[in-house]
Structures are given as C-alpha cells and as structure tokens.
C-alpha cells in the first residue's frame, strides 16, 4: 500500500517536472516556482530514501518544513557509489545508469523508475541549445558507442536520444563511430564524404574521443556542410592526453571546418537528469566556457568546507539542484569547481584531493580522476 | 670496493645511534617540525615515539639484504611522516658508501639532524640537487606518483630509480577480537602523524554484523576523543578539510558518523565501495560477514595498501594484498627497521 502511494506520488512529481519542461518548450512561464517543486521533492526523497533522511537529520533539517530548495542538503556524488539513492524498490528500475569505473573500481549508480522525465528534459534543452535551427531532420554522427554497446551510460542514452529525435532515421552503423571500443576513423571519413553538402549535420563527441579523432586525423580536415555543429562533453579523466578546452574547440573547428562558436560544450553527470550547455550557437553574446542551465536546474557554487553558498564570482564546489531528478536526489554535490558569472556558470575543473602532505595516499591518486558519465 | 655485511650493518648502526641522539634532543627540534608539518607539538612528540632507535641483528641483516649494492645513492625525500628519513637514509647507507640526501624543502628537519648527529662522511645533505645530474648509481625517491614520475623522467640512462610511492593502511578486526581492545589499538595507529603516514589506517573492516561494526566505530570514537585531549590534532589544510566534508556527508547518507573535536569516525555497511576518508584522523568502519569477503573487497584498493593491521596476523597473512606488511593492531606505525616500509615494489 505504501509502495503504491509512493509510486503515485512519484508519478505526480514527474508530471510536475515535465510540466515545467513543457512550459519552457512553449516559451511560457513555469507552472509553479522552482522552490515549490523542490521542497516537495526533498520531502518525498527524505520519506523514500533512508540515507537522505539521515542526511537531513544530521544537518538539522526537517524535510517537511522546508520552504526553500537551498535549505535542503545536497547528496555528494560519492553516495551514489556507497548506497541506494532511489525512491523505489530496486526491481522497479527501468533504466540504470552507472558512472565509469575508477581505479578503485567503484561505480556510482543512478537508477530510474521513469526515464521519460530525463528524456523530456534532455530533448527540450538540447533542442534549444543545439538543434533549434535544424528545420529538417539532420544526420547525427556520434563519436561514441551505440546505446546497445553501453547500456548503462547516460551519455550514450542521451546521444542515441538526440540522434533518434533530432536526426534523420539512420541505421546504427551510419550513426555511431565507436564500435567494440575502437574509433572507426575510416568509416567516419567515408560517411562525411558522402554527406549532402547542403544539409547541416551534428557531431556528438566526448572530449577524449574527440582528442583521439583529432590525433588520428592529423592535418586532415573532415569538412562538414555549412550550418553543422559539434557537441563535446566530459573531461579527460586519464583516458587520453589532456587538451585545454579552448584548444580543443579551436582544433575541432579546424578539423570539421566549422566556426568555433559551433563547437558547443555540454555538461552532464550520471547522477543528474538534466544538462547544461554553452550558448555560443544560439546567442551571439554568449562567451565560450560559460554554461547555461535550463529553468528547472540551479547551480550554486558552495564553500567546499561549510557547503554554504558563495557569492557570484566566487569559485566553489557545484551544488546542482535538478528538478528532473525526481526519484533520486534533486540536490547533488558534484566534484566540479564552478563559478557563477554573468550569463551562467564557468567550469573550473575537478575539486582537488587531499594535499601532498605526508606519504599517505591522496584520494585523487586512489580513485583516479573520477568517472565519465 | 664492496663492503661486507658486517660493515654495512655497522654503518647502519651508526645511523641508529644518531637516531637515538636526535630522539634525546627531540624537545629542541619538535617546534620546528610542528611548524613544517602542521602537527601539534604534542603530535610531534608522540610521532617521535615511532622513530626507530634500535633493531635486532636479524632485522638489520634483512635491511642490508634488501638494500642491495650501489656505487652511489641519491635519496629524494618528500614530506613524509617526519620520522621516515631515518629508514630511507639507512637503506641508502646500507647500499652505498656515497650517499647524498635531498630532504623535503618543506620538512627538512629530521634528515638534517640525523646527518649532523651521524658524523658520517659517507652521507651528505644536498638541498637542491637536480636528479638529472646523478650520473651513476641509484636514485631512491619517496613521494607521490607525480614526484616519482618526474624523477624517472629526468634520471639519466643507466641510473637506477627505486621508488616508494604513497599508500595507506587497512585495519581488519576478526570475529575473535574484543571490540574495546581493537578500538584502542586502532586509535593508537590512527593518531601518529595525524594519519598522513602511508602506514596509517583509514579503513577498518570488522568481521561480523552491522551492530558489531557500529560498536567498534563508537568505541573508536571514544578512544580518539581521549587521544585528542592528550595529543591534539594539528592543523588540516583547506583541501583536507574540504575532502573531509564530502566524505562525512557521504557517510551520513550511507551510514552513521561520530564527530569529535579532532576526528571523525564513520560507519557504513560494506556496499560496492569504500569511501576512503582523507588524512586527519578520519576513519571509515565497515562490517563484513567473513574474511573471504574482506579479501575480495580489498581487491579494489589492494595496490594502495602498504600495511594490514589485524588482531590475528597469522590467520590473515595469506589474505593480505601483495607486498603489504601484516602486523598486530597497535603496531601499524612501528614496523621493524628491516627494509623499506613499502614492500609493494620488492
């Protein structure tokens, strides 16, 4: 009975989250305030997830008496590796996303009972920031694996979703160019060579895959049709040589013969259901490196020791409130450093591990640099 | 000209005598070490109790055997647990009649004091020697992975680099151990160097159910509270405090936290992972059904484990990660002077 009640409450909260997404798509005002939905999510999650109830109690927070999202504790991403962070019985999960493995082997788990809210949020903001001007289905070329090869990767799910929803219906071998862990450079060359020069295309790539591709291409150029764009996401995290963001943007623009402003960064995490995007493709005033959140997401830089919010312009740890995270944790404490600036959020890299004092191992060394969503 | 084992042992013996002299003079140099390490003065004086001042003949023989033979040895020290220079210098001296030591710029005190007290012409302190200038023999480098990699990258061809990277300790409490006794012994292992040594336990695995694990965590919290009043924790760096905050929040979610003025103990059932806390007297306790589960669980972090402390070393020796010392709880910070503390690369 209680499970049924929780299930109905969950569905109602999902519907409220999707209503916010639909309002954004229509250009309408949100049907309710951010805080109104956030505090209901916090209460629901504290009632459904023992860990969150403990976290609230330890912080002296009564989830039933919350008035503002900012007062609800954020769940550190590490908790997704240690404990269940979902509001339903494990058997009811329809999708389970996992962070990539680390040196220590632990993977964070983000289970979803209803993936429709994730999909709606990703499509709505992805369309707005990356595909708004595509008047016809465009070829989407993913420098990554198909979903069937990486069924627990939220990024693979999102890329497949974009290719399916924004793209022309194409078979997998014409869409996904990482197969069995190998980058199919020659297949990609052939695919690009056969493109209609009058129809723009979209490339979706992780940063490390992009670096591998650029290394493989050398001085070659895979010229894309006019109006094409490139999405790059994720850090490097020990999986390829590291290239600073500005250089990667420049190199990718040269390799695909597109404007640098058409190389757009996307920021997402396995532990979230929504993404942030650079706005350079849709806003002539937007600065590269500044990421914009959809209206159902708030990103606040917090002090890494006290977790108190910091003023605009100050660098801190990202506390991300995502109203589409209905059945897990609407407030997540990420491991990335951010700074709120005019127009959005700057990403400043991973939070450092314990400092080099003594010969005890630092967390960074033990865990590697973290996971790739 | 190669020295006999007896000569090498005697050379190491002179360093041990120097260690005793430095120990006797510890009140004078402790404030300087406190400033450079961030430890409290009481923490430095307690840390001195871990400085090796004696060794049996068989231990020295083992050290000499492990040291090998080198024409010259250049030792690159990091800001290790502050007593670590003695062992590093002893190994180098056992290996060679020409030893240069580059102390950590941040924490040079003990190396300098040992060299001064040893009055051994074979050992010289060099504060700024570039490893690329070492043209023969060996370089012994202690420190983080980045430091080791940087030294390897700059070392000349033909120069052997022996590295001793960072690590951590794990305590394992078997079903047969008394909770109170085990907690007391583990606290004694946690306090030295505020857990910044590679022998410091940061993870405690308790054989038994969750209630037993929680009981151990609560008892450890009490023991660390007592220690804190006698040997206060020193200052933590900002990044250590930030890591501690994240770890504490994650453990609050996954289990239960006991916070003291200078320590935090967390308990969480063993899931798919351990949340390894940062140094600074932060300990995660986890319960496991059986030792077999412990060995499997350690598998994910095994390569970082330098020492396994347990109430039953004989039973666990075979289950320990490769190269890890297996010692009695309470003695994790006091390995005999029988070679490198870190045997993972041997």
Best A354, A368, A369 member to test B by mutation, with max B CBs in 10 Å, is: A354
Q: Which residues, at least 6 apart from A2, have a Cβ–Cβ distance to it below 8 Å? A: none
Is the model's pLDDT at A359 over the cut of 90? no
C-alpha span between A310 and A85 (Å, rounded): 27
C-alpha span between B266 and A149 (Å, rounded): 38
- Strand, helix or coil at A256? helix
Strand boundaries in A216-363, DSSP class E: 229-233, 263-267, 276-278, 290-292, 297-302, 315-322, 331-341, 344-350
Give B6's DSSP letter: H
Q: What are phi and psi of B123, to 5 degrees?
A: -115, 130
pLDDT digits (tens, 9 = 90+) for B77-128: 987 799 999 999 999 999 999 999 999 988 899 999 999 999 999 999 998 8
Query: Are A107 and B272 within 8 A, CB to CB?
Result: yes
pLDDT for the residue B127: 85
Domains B5-164 and B168-345 belong to one CATH topology: no
Q: Which residues, at least 6 apart from B60, have a Cβ–Cβ distance to it below 8 Å? A: B9, B12, B13, B337, B338
Q: Which residues, at least 6 apart from A209, have a Cβ–Cβ distance to it below 8 Å? A: A143, A144, A178, A183, A240
Residues 92-121, chain A: which have Cβ within 8 Å of B? 104-107, 109
Q: Name every chain A residue with its beta carbon within 8 A of the beta carbon of B239.
A: 352-355
pLDDT for the residue B275: 79
C-alpha span between A300 and A312 (Å, rounded): 9
pLDDT for the residue B183: 98
Query: Are A82 and B268 within 8 A, CB to CB?
Result: yes
ipTM score for this prediction: 0.86
Q: What are phi and psi of B268, to 5 degrees?
A: -145, 140
Is the model's pLDDT at A371 over the cut of 60? no
Is the model's pLDDT at A106 over the cut of 80? no
pLDDT digits (tens, 9 = 90+) for A280-314: 999 999 999 999 999 999 999 999 999 999 999 99
pLDDT digits (tens, 9 = 90+) for A127-154: 999 999 998 889 999 999 999 998 889 9
A233: closest CA among A265, A274, A276? A265
Query: Are B78 and A305 within 8 A, CB to CB?
Result: no
Q: Which CATH class is domain B5-164?
A: alpha beta
The domain spans of chain B are 5-164, 168-345
Cα atoms in the Cβ-side hemisphere of radius 13 Å centred on B262:
22
Q: Starting at the edge strand that comes first in sequence, how are the strands of the sheet with B325-328 ordered? A: B256-259, B264-267, B282-288, B201-207, B168-173, B305-310, B325-328
Contact B5, B204 (CB under 8 A): no
Looking up tokens 């020193």 gives B234
- Model confidence, pTM: 0.89
pLDDT for the residue B292: 73
Q: What is B168-345's CATH superfamily? A: Aldehyde Dehydrogenase; Chain A, domain 2 (3.40.309.10)
Pick out chain B residues at pLDDT < 70: 1, 271-273, 295, 300, 345-346
Query: Are A305 and B242 within 8 A, CB to CB?
Result: yes
Is A82 part of the contact surface with chain B (CB cutoff 8 Å)?
yes
Is A290 part of the contact surface with chain B (CB cutoff 8 Å)?
no
Best A46, A81, A84, A360 member to test B by mutation, with max B CBs in 10 Å, is: A360
Q: How far is B1 from chain A (nearest CA, A)?
A: 35
Query: Are B247 and A104 within 8 A, CB to CB?
Result: no
């Amino acid at each position: 009975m209680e499970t049924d009640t929780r299930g109905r409450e969950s569905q109602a909260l999902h519907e409220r989250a999707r209503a916010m997404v639909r309002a954004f798509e229509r250009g309408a005002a949100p049907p309710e305030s951010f805080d109104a939905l956030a505090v209901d999510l916090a209460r629901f999650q504290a009632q459904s997830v023992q860990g969150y109830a403990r976290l609230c109690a330890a912080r002296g927070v009564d989830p039933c008496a919350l008035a503002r999202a900012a007062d609800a504790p954020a769940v550190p991403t590490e908790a997704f590796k240690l404990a269940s962070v979902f509001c339903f019985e494990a058997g009811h999960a329809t999708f389970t996303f996992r962070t990539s493995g680390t040196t220590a082997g632990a993977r964070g788990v983000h289970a979803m009972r209803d993936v429709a809210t994730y999909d709606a949020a990703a499509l709505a903001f992805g369309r707005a920031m990356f595909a708004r001007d595509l008047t016809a289905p465009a070829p989407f070329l993913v420098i990554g694996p198909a979903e069937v090869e990486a069924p627990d990767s939220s990024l693979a799910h999102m890329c497949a979703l974009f290719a399916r929803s924004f793209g022309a219906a194409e078979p997998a071998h014409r869409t996904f160019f990482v197969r069995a862990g190998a980058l199919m450079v020659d297949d990609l060359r052939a695919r690009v060579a056969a493109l209609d020069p009058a129809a723009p295309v979209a490339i979706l790539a992780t940063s490390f895959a992009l670096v591998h591709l650029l290394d493989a291409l050398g001085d070659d150029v895979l010229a894309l049709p006019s109006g094409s764009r490139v999405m790059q996401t994720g850090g490097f995290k020990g999986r390829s040589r590291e290239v600073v963001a500005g250089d990667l943007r420049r190199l990718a623009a040269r390799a695909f013969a597109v404007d640098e402003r058409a190389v757009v960064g996307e920021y997402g995490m396995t532990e979230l259901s929504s993404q942030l995007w650079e706005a350079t493709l849709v806003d002539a005033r937007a600065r590269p490196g500044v990421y914009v959140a959809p209206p159902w997401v708030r990103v606040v830089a917090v002090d890494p020791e006290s977790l108190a919010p910091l003023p605009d312009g100050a660098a801190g740890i990202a506390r991300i409130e995502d109203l589409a995270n209905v059945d897990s944790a609407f407030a997540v404490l990420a491991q990335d450093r951010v700074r709120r600036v005019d127009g959005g959020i700057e990403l400043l890299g991973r939070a450092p591990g314990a400092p080099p004092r003594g010969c005890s191992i630092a967390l960074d060394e033990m865990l590697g640099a973290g996971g790739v969503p | 000209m190669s020295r006999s084992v007896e000569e090498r042992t005697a050379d190491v013996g002179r360093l041990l005598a120097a260690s005793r002299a430095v120990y006797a003079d510890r009140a004078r140099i402790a404030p300087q070490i406190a400033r450079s390490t961030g430890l409290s003065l009481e923490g430095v004086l307690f840390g001195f109790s871990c400085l090796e001042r004696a060794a049996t003949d068989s231990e020295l023989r083992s050290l000499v055997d492990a040291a090998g033979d080198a024409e010259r040895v250049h030792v690159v020290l990091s800001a290790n647990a502050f007593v670590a220079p003695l062992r590093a210098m002893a190994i180098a001296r056992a290996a060679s009649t020409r030893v240069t030591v580059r102390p950590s710029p941040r924490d040079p005190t003990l190396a300098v004091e040992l060299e001064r007290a040893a009055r051994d012409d074979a050992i010289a302190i060099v504060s700024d020697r570039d490893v690329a200038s070492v043209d023969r023999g060996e370089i012994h480098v202690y420190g983080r992975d980045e430091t080791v990699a940087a030294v390897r990258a700059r070392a000349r061809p033909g120069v052997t680099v022996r590295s001793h990277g960072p690590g951590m300790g794990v305590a394992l409490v078997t079903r047969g151990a008394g909770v109170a006794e085990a907690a007391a012994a583990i606290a004694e292992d946690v306090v030295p160097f505020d857990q910044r040594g590679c022998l410091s336990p940061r993870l405690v695995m308790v054989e038994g159910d969750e209630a037993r694990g929680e009981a151990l965590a609560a008892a450890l919290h009490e023991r660390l509270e007592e220690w804190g009043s006698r040997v206060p924790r020193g200052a933590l760096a900002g990044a250590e405090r930030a890591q501690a905050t994240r770890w504490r929040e994650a453990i609050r979610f996954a289990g239960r936290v006991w916070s003291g003025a200078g320590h935090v103990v967390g308990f969480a059932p063993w899931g798919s992972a351990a949340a390894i806390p940062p140094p600074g007297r932060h300990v995660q306790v986890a319960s496991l059904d059986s030792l077999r589960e412990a060995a499997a669980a350690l598998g994910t972090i095994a390569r970082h484990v330098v020492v396994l402390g347990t109430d039953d070393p004989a039973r666990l020796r075979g289950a320990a990660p490769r190269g890890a010392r297996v010692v009695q709880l309470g003695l994790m910070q006091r390995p005999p002077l029988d070679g490198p503390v870190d045997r993972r690369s041997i």
